[in-house]
C-alpha cells in the first residue's frame, strides 16, 4: 500500500505552549502507543491497533513501516532519523498532550522498539503487539515456540551463534540484512557443519513470503533483507565448563580443563551477572563462564598485549565475542558481581582492589599454585573467612610398556562471599 510521504518537523502538531487547556479532553487518548505491524500491513492488524492508528495525531516509524499504512490518515507521519536512540526525547516531547503511535516490527517487546523505549523513554506507554517474526517462523516450520532458542544478529556479531550450534538443538537467527544468511553459512562450514540444515524465511507475514532450505555449504542469497534463519546443527559440543585444552590458542597460561570446570562451578554464574577475570591468561575462565550461562557478562584483565589478542581470538572462536578484554586491572571498570583472580594475586593492590570493587554479597574465587600465592590465600582466609579447597588432579601416563598416574601441580582455591 502507498501512503503519504513522511513530513518534516515544521508541520508537527503544536507544542505544549500552543496547546489550550482542554486539549487533553478533546482527544480519546493522550500518550504513546507502540503498535506492532508486520509486512501484511494495516489490514492484518487487530481492531485495537487499527483504532490507535486512526486516532493518532503523530505516527513514528521506519520508512518501510510507514509505507504499510493506508492513505487518508489525519496523522502526521514521521520517520525515525539515524541514529535512533538520541532522537527519542525530541520525537516524543509532547507525549502527554498528543496522541502518538510508534510503529514496531511484529512484537515490539521482542528485540524491538518497545524494549528501547522501556530503557530510554521516561514516560508511560502501552503496547499492542502483533505476532513476532519468531512466532511466524515457528508456525511456518511447525516448531514449538517455547522450545526454540533465538539469537539476534541485528546488533551481535555472527560468532554469537556458536554456543547454540554447540548445543546441537535447532534454533532461529534474526537476520541483520540480506548478507546475514551467507555469513551464517560460512561460519557453519568453518565449524565443520557443512551438512547443517539452513532454512531462510524471508518477508514473513507478507504475500512475498519465501522459504528456502539447503545445507550450509549450498546456501544461496535470499530474496529479501527481512529474514529469519533456521539452523539445525549436526552433532554438538557441551556448554558445560571443562572444554578440552586444545580448544584454546595458548602460550601455556591456561587453567587446565578439570580445574577450569571446578573453578567455573565455584563462581556460580547466574543470568545478569558481571564477572571480573583478573590475570586472564588465555581467557578460558571468562569464556566458559559466558558459555555456561546466557545473559552473563565478563571483563577479562590481562597485561600482555599478545595474550589479549589470543583471548579475543579464543572468545570469537568459542562464541562469546562480547567478552570485554582489557589491559592491567583498573579501578574504573563496572562493579562486578563475581571476581576470579587467576593471575597477579601477589601483586600489590590486586586483591584489595577486587574486594573493594566487589558488590556486597558478591563472590570472589582465587586460585593459587606457588608457595607464595598459597601463603597469601591462607592469610586471606584467616582474615575474611570463606572456604579453602585443594584441587589435585592426576592422569594416566605411559611409563615404558606400563601406565602410571601422573599428578599435576595441586591448586589451592579460596572462595569467599563479601558481607552484606
Grouping H, G, I as helix, E, B as strand and the rest as coil, residue 194 is coil
Scanning 151-246, the segments in alpha helix (DSSP H) are 162-167, 180-190
> Which has the minimum average pLDDT: 5-19, 152-166, 186-200, 267-281?
5-19
Residues 82-134 have pLDDT tens digits of 999 999 999 998 888 889 999 999 999 999 999 999 999 988 999 999 999 99
Q: What is the CATH number of the domain that holds 300?
A: 3.40.50.150
pLDDT at 287 over 50: yes
Angstrom distance (rounded) from CA 134 to CA 152: 11
- Tell me whether residue 305 is in a domain: yes
Number of separate domains in the chain: 3
Q: Among the residues of 27-87, which ranges form H helices?
A: 47-54, 63-66
Weakest mean pLDDT among 5-9, 340-344, 369-373, 413-417: 5-9
Find out whether 288 and 350 touch, Cβ atoms under 8 Å.
no
Lookup: cell for 291: 558459555
* 294 and 394 share one domain: yes
Position 98 scores a pLDDT of 87
| 326 contact partners, CB below 8 Å, separation of at least 6 | 299, 300, 301, 302, 308, 333
Asked if the bond preceding 83 is cis, omega within 30° of 0, the reply is yes
What radius of gyration do the chain's Cα atoms show? Answer: 27
* 283 and 399 assigned to the same domain: yes
Clarify whether residues 284 and 395 are in a common domain. yes
Cell 542469497 sits at which residue? 221
69: confidence class by pLDDT, cuts 50, 70, 90:
very high
Contacts for 181 with CB less than 8 Å, ≥ 6 apart: 175, 198, 200, 219, 221, 222, 227, 229
Can you tell me which residue has the cell 556458536?
A: 162
Residue 98 within any structural domain of the chain: yes
Q: Which of 130, 147, 182 is the last residue of a domain?
A: 130
Look up residue 129 and give its DSSP letter.
-
Angle at 315 between CA 313 and CA 319, to 5 degrees: 120
CA of 223: how far to CAs of 138, 150, 172, 201, in Å? Answer: 20, 22, 18, 10
Could you tell me if residue 238 is inside a domain? no
State yes or no: pLDDT of 2 exceeds 50.
no
Q: Is residue 32 part of a domain?
A: yes
Collapse the DSSP code of 151 into the 3-class scheme (helix H, G, I; strand E, B; otherwise coil) and give the result.
strand
Regarding whether 371 and 250 lie in a shared domain, the answer is yes
Q: Residue 21 has which C-alpha cell?
A: 487547556
* Length, in residues, of the chain: 420
Rounded CA gap, 46 and 115, in Å?
21
Instruction: Tell me which residue has cell 562471599.
Output: 417
Please tell me the predicted confidence (pLDDT) of residue 97.
84
- Residue 248 confidence class, pLDDT cut points 50, 70, 90: very high
Centroid of chain to Cα 255: 26
SS3 at position 169: coil
Averaged pLDDT for residues 409-416: 96
388 burial level (CB within 10 Å; 0-12, 13-18, 19+): middle
Identify whether residues 48 and 104 lie together within a single domain. yes
pLDDT band at 370 (very low <50, low <70, confident <90, very high): very high
Distance separating alpha carbons of residues 336 and 321, to the nearest angstrom: 19
Share of the chain above pLDDT 70, in %: 93
**Where would I find the beta strands (DSSP E) of 124-188?**
125-128, 150-152, 171-174
Split at pLDDT 50, 70, 90, the class of 417 is very high
Last residue of a domain, one of 130, 161, 196: 130
In this structure, is residue 71 part of a structural domain? yes
Kindly tell me if the per-residue pLDDT of 387 is higher than 80: yes
Per-residue model confidence (pLDDT) at position 331: 66
Q: What is the pLDDT of residue 343?
A: 86
At 223 the pLDDT is 85
User: Are the CB atoms for 77 and 3 separated by under 8 Å?
Assistant: yes
pTM for this model (two decimals) = 0.81
Residues 265 and 395 in one domain: yes
pLDDT value, residue 198: 97
The pLDDT of residue 235: 87
Q: Is residue 110 part of a domain?
A: yes
Residues 259 and 407 in one domain: yes
297 and 365 part of one domain? yes
CB 358 within 8 A of CB 418: yes
Do 329 and 259 lie in one domain? The reply is: yes
Q: How high is the pLDDT of residue 277?
A: 97
**Rounded average pLDDT over 265-270:** 97
**Does residue 237 sit within a domain?**
no
**What are 282's three cell numbers?**
588465555
The four Cα atoms 305, 327, 319, 136 give a dihedral, to 10 degrees, of: -140
| Within a domain: 161 | yes
* Of 76, 103, 130, the domain-final residue: 130
Strand 387-391 and strand 411-417: the pairing is antiparallel
- End-to-end C-alpha distance for the chain, whole angstroms: 60
Q: How confident is the model at residue 29 (pLDDT cuts 50, 70, 90)?
A: low
Host domain of residue 151: 135-232
Indicate if 139 and 175 belong to the same structural domain.
yes
d(C-alpha 328, C-alpha 278), whole Å: 9
Q: What Å distances lie between residue 49 and 44, 129, 147, CA to CA? A: 10, 8, 29
* Same domain? 212 vs 355: no
Q: Residue 360 has what pLDDT?
A: 97
Distance of CA 403 to the CA centre of its chain: 47
If pLDDT is split at 50, 70 and 90, which confidence band does 386 have? very high
* pLDDT above 90 coverage of the chain, percent: 82
Mean pLDDT of the chain: 91
Question: Region 329-357: what's the mean pLDDT?
Answer: 91
**Co-location of 365 and 287 in the same domain:** yes
Check which CATH number belongs to the domain holding 215 and give it: 3.30.950.10
Amino acid at each position: 500500500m502507498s501512503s503519504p510521504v513522511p513530513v518534516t518537523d515544521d508541520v508537527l502538531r503544536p507544542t505544549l505552549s500552543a496547546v489550550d487547556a482542554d486539549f487533553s479532553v478533546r482527544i480519546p487518548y493522550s500518550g504513546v502507543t507502540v503498535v506492532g505491524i508486520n509486512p501484511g500491513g494495516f489490514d492484518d492488524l487487530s481492531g485495537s491497533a487499527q483504532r490507535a492508528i486512526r486516532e493518532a495525531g503523530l505516527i513514528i516509524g521506519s520508512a518501510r513501516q510507514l509505507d504499510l499504512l493506508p492513505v487518508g490518515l489525519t496523522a502526521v507521519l514521521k520517520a525515525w532519523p539515524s541514529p535512533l536512540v538520541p532522537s527519542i526525547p525530541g520525537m516524543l516531547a509532547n507525549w502527554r498532550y498528543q496522541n502518538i503511535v510508534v510503529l514496531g516490527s511484529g512484537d515490539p517487546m521482542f528485540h524491538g522498539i518497545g524494549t528501547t523505549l522501556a530503557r530510554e523513554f521516561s514516560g508511560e506507554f502501552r503496547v499492542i503487539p502483533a505476532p513476532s517474526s519468531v512466532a511466524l517462523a515457528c508456525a511456518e516450520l511447525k516448531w514449538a515456540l517455547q522450545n526454540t532458542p533465538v539469537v539476534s544478529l541485528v546488533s551481535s556479531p555472527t560468532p554469537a551463534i556458536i554456543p547454540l550450534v554447540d548445543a546441537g538443538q535447532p534454533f532461529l537467527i534474526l537476520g541483520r540484512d540480506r548478507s546475514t544468511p551467507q555469513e551464517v553459512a560460512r561460519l557453519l562450514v568453518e565449524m565443520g557443519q557443512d551438512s547443517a540444515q539452513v532454512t531462510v524465511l524471508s518477508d514473513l507475514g507478507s504475500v512475498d513470503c519465501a522459504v528456502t532450505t539447503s545445507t550450509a555449504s549450498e546456501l544461496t542469497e535470499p530474496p529479501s533483507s527481512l529474514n529469519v534463519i533456521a539452523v539445525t546443527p549436526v552433532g554438538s559440543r557441551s556448554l558445560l565448563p571443562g572444554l578440552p585444552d586444545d580448544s584454546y590458542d595458548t602460550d601455556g597460561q591456561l587453567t587446565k580443563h578439570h580445574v577450569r570446570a571446578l573453578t567455573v562451578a565455584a563462581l556460580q554464574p547466574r543470568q545478569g551477572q558481571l564477572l571480573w577475570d583478573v590475570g586472564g591468561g588465555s581467557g578460558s575462565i571468562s569464556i566458559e563462564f559466558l558459555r555456561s550461562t546466557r545473559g552473563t557478562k565478563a571483563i577479562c584483565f590481562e597485561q600482555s598485549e599478545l595474550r589479549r589478542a589470543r583471548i579475543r581470538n579464543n572468545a570469537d572462536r568459542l562464541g562469546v565475542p562480547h567478552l570485554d578484554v582489557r589491559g592491567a586491572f583498573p579501578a574504573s571498570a563496572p562493579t562486578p558481581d563475581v571476581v576470579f583472580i587467576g593471575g597477579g594475586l601477589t601483586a600489590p593492590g590486586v586483591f584489595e582492589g577486587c574486594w573493594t570493587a566487589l558488590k556486597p554479597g558478591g563472590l570472589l574465587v582465587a586460585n593459587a599454585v606457588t608457595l607464595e600465592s598459597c601463603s597469601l590465600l591462607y592469610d586471606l582466609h584467616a582474615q575474611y573467612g570463606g572456604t579453602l579447597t585443594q584441587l589435585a588432579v592426576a592422569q594416566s601416563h605411559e611409563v615404558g610398556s606400563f601406565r602410571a598416574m601422573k599428578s599435576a601441580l595441586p591448586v589451592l582455591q579460596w572462595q569467599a562471599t563479601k558481607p552484606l
